[in-house]
């Protein structure tokens, strides 16, 4: 849906039903009237005009003297004036310009001797006494009233502009919702992949908008408020547009933050205006993106509550009232999207308002493959592009991430002047997104050696523990802000994390620091990100997952925490445990990290020669693929190494 209309600054050709663009029409009418009066009525009413330099006004006595002197050639007599031409150019007695025409006023009582005098001196005589015309008089009055008409027209245009602004300064009280009309090309369910269950739930809303009589006949009431819940990038907005595209109805789209202004009452006014426009255009869909911007719990205070902002509360109250104002016969559905349903006001979620929630989760492997097929549809793909393998290599990516991946691959191919997008372009695009752009940092030999041991430690520990994800690539080439990267590629999506898997992740994360200690005898700042990730994971295991023996199966985490790669600790959320319990939590986190550190060090000391071989290969080649790394380990150990309980051939087969 690339074509959009904006009620207050978008396409000027669109107006809501019943509204006409009278302002521009009035200006056009006034322009036509002015041109008509100047070029048509003026010459018609005033007749051919004479220039001031060619006509002189004579007194009646001077006029008679000129006749007697035979200097008058023609005369046109009317009821009050006489005009004509001189037979020879006329110059006033005192000097001055030369005139060829004259005019004079006749005596009111008339002059009986004028005509005989004119005939005696052979003056050509004509009369000008037309019959009065009603329409000509009306046009004359219209010409005289032209300035008044112009003032009235401008006053009307100004009043119209004032009515548009009556709800707020510069029209801020009007809704800024963008309208996607049903006549324009629009998104459909075919353009949305990876959310099969969500599309199934919304199909009922589409059916209601297409055929509302089917439900009214049985007395059924379709939910008028549907809340789309899911992480960022999962396609909530795209799915809402697809609902409108499938139903072929107008789609009013607005962000909740656009309701809130510094002026109190403006947000509530915009809510009313938006719902009035939707009702006038029904059947229609209202879509409010990021509804948590105005829908947070009222009266809770703090940065997560709406009690400290009167404007936000008034806007939310008006939204609740408008949601209650729908009649069963009105075919208007409100869709809203958020990734924070936990902060929404309960009054917003009660039955009759947003009583249906549709969850959009990150797509699984099959969903990612379907999404990739949608986004690569317009791309000329080269033979060998395996979307199934690409979907397997992108766990945890949202639909927006996959769209960006396809676009980056196309950009890579365009930079090289290729005719088609090749598999290497997708690999380079995936590395750029996950690892960052290739860096150009100049590292000394000592730094390169430290980075080689650091990344080799990560990779070797991942091969030695039984539950780590397979190593895809190890490189000491700077990528983004990293001096080197060890890249893992899970064999499949994980929905449930076992304790032994998380413990292995802790050991792998600390493998780089342990390798520096063993091989270099000193530690560096290169493990900063590793320590952050390990500490966050260990705290999540203790506070959220109940995986610490000291505390048992209890939950101490907050609503904003996430087990893997979340936002971390939120200081505004109240702690539901004592300071003594907090000390026990810190001790448990410290124990998990220390045990993982010691475990990684033990494994690396046992296989010191293999670590040295990996580091030397990295210094020589700079990048090792997963197969090359496994071959190196096998050659160094003359077969499968003495690993912890695991099977290296199985690890290789899973790649």
Asked whether the bond before 319 is cis by omega within 30 degrees of 0, the reply is no
Residues in the chain: 655
Which of 205, 258, 455, 516 is the catalytic position?
455
Closest to 260 measured CA to CA, from 300, 318, 347, 299: 318
Helix H or strand E segment including 116: helix 114-120
| 310-324 and 266-280 helices, crossing angle to 10° | 20
The answer to whether the CB of 499 falls within 8 A of the CB of 474 is no
> How many other CB atoms are found less than 10 A from the CB of residue 71?
16
First CA to last CA distance, the chain: 40
Contact status, residue 228 vs residue 335, Cβ threshold 8 Å: yes
Whole-angstrom distance, CA of residue 362 vs CA of residue 567 = 17
- Catalytic residue list contains 455: yes
Sign of CA dihedral 523, 526, 529, 530: negative
CB 624 within 8 A of CB 614: yes
Q: What angle do CA 208, 211, 213 make, to 5 degrees?
A: 100
Q: Other CB atoms closer than 10 Å to residue 580's CB: what's the count?
A: 8
Q: Which helix (H) or strand (E) holds 84?
A: strand 81-90
User: What span, in angstroms and rounded, lies between the C-alpha atoms of 25 and 32?
Assistant: 11
3-state secondary structure of 57: strand
523 alpha carbon, distance to own chain's centre: 46
Contact partners, residue 58, CB within 8 Å, separation at least 6: 66, 102, 103, 104
**Which tokens belong to 49?**
């005009």
Classified as helix, coil or strand, 429 is helix
- Residues 495 and 610: their CA atoms lie apart, in Å, by 33
DSSP category for residue 516: I
From the list 475, 464, 400, the residue with the least C-alpha distance to 435 is 475
DSSP characters over 320-364 = HHHHHT--TT--EEEEEEES-GGGB-HHHHSTTSS-EEEE-PPP-
Active site residues: 455
């Amino acid at each position: 849906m690339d074509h959009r209309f904006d009620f207050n600054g978008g396409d000027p050709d669109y107006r809501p039903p019943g509204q006409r663009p009278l302002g521009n029409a009035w200006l056009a009418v006034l322009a036509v009237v002015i041109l008509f009066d100047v070029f048509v009525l003026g010459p018609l009413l005033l007749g051919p005009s004479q220039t001031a330099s060619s006509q002189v006004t004579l007194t009646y006595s001077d006029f008679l003297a000129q006749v007697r002197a035979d200097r008058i050639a023609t005369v046109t007599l009317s009821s009050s004036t006489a005009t004509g031409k001189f037979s020879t150019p006329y110059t006033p007695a005192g000097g001055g310009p030369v005139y060829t025409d004259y005019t004079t006023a006749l005596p009111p009582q008339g002059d009986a001797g004028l005509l005989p005098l004119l005939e005696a001196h052979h003056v050509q005589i004509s009369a000008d006494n037309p019959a009065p015309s009603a329409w000509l008089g009306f046009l004359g009055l219209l010409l005289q009233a032209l300035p008044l008409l112009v003032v009235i027209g401008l006053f009307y245009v100004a009043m119209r502009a004032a009515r548009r602004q009556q709800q707020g300064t510069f029209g801020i009280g009007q809704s800024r919702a963008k309208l996607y009309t049903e006549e324009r090309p629009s998104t459909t369910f075919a353009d949305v992949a990876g959310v099969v269950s969500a599309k199934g739930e919304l199909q009922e809303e589409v059916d209601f908008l297409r055929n509302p009589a089917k439900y009214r006949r049985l007395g059924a009431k379709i939910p008028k408020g549907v809340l789309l819940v899911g992480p960022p990038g999962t396609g909530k907005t795209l799915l809402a547009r697809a609902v409108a595209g499938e139903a072929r109805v107008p789609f009013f789209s607005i962000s909740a933050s656009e309701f809130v202004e510094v002026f109190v009452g403006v947000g509530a006014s915009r809510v009313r205006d938006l719902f009035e426009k939707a009702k006038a255009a029904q059947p229609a869909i209202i879509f409010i993106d990021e509804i948590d911007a105005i829908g947070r719990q009222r009266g809770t205070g703090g940065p997560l509550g709406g009690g400290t902002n009167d404007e936000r509360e008034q806007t939310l109250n008006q939204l609740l009232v408008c949601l209650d104002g729908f009649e069963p016969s009105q075919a208007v559905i409100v869709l809203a999207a958020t990734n924070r349903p936990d902060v929404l006001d309960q009054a917003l979620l009660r039955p009759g308002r947003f009583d249906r929630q549709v969850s959009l989760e990150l797509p699984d492997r099959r969903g990612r493959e379907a999404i990739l097929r949608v986004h690569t549809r317009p791309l000329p793909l080269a033979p060998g592009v395996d979307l199934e393998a690409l979907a397997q290599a992108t766990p945890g990516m949202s639909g927006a991430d996959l769209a960006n991946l396809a676009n980056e691959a196309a950009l890579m191919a365009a930079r090289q002047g290729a005719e088609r997008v090749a598999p290497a372009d997708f690999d380079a695009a995936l590395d750029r997104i996950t690892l960052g752009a290739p860096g150009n940092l100049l590292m000394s030999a000592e730094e390169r050696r430290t980075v080689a041991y650091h990344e080799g430690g990560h990779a070797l520990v991942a091969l030695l523990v039984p539950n780590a994800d397979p190593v895809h690539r190890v490189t000491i080439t700077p990528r983004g802000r990293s001096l080197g990267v060890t890249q893992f590629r899970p064999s499949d999506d994980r929905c449930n994390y076992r304790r032994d898997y998380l413990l292995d992740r802790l050991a792998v994360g600390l493998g780089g620091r342990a390798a520096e200690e063993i091989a270099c005898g000193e530690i560096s700042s290169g493990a900063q990100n590793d320590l952050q990730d390990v500490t966050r994971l260990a705290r999540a295991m203790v506070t959220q997952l109940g995986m610490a023996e000291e505390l048992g199966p209890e939950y101490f985490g907050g609503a904003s925490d996430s087990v893997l790669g979340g936002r971390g600790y939120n200081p505004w959320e109240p702690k539901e445990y004592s300071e003594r319990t907090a000390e026990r939590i810190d001790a448990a986190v410290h124990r998990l990290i220390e045990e993982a550190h010691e475990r990684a060090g033990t494994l690396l000391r046992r296989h010191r020669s293999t670590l040295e071989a990996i580091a030397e290969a990295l210094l020589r080649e700079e990048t090792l693929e997963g197969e090359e790394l496994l071959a190196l380990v096998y050659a160094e150990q003359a077969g499968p190494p003495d690993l912890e309980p695991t099977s290296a051939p199985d690890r290789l087969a899973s790649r």
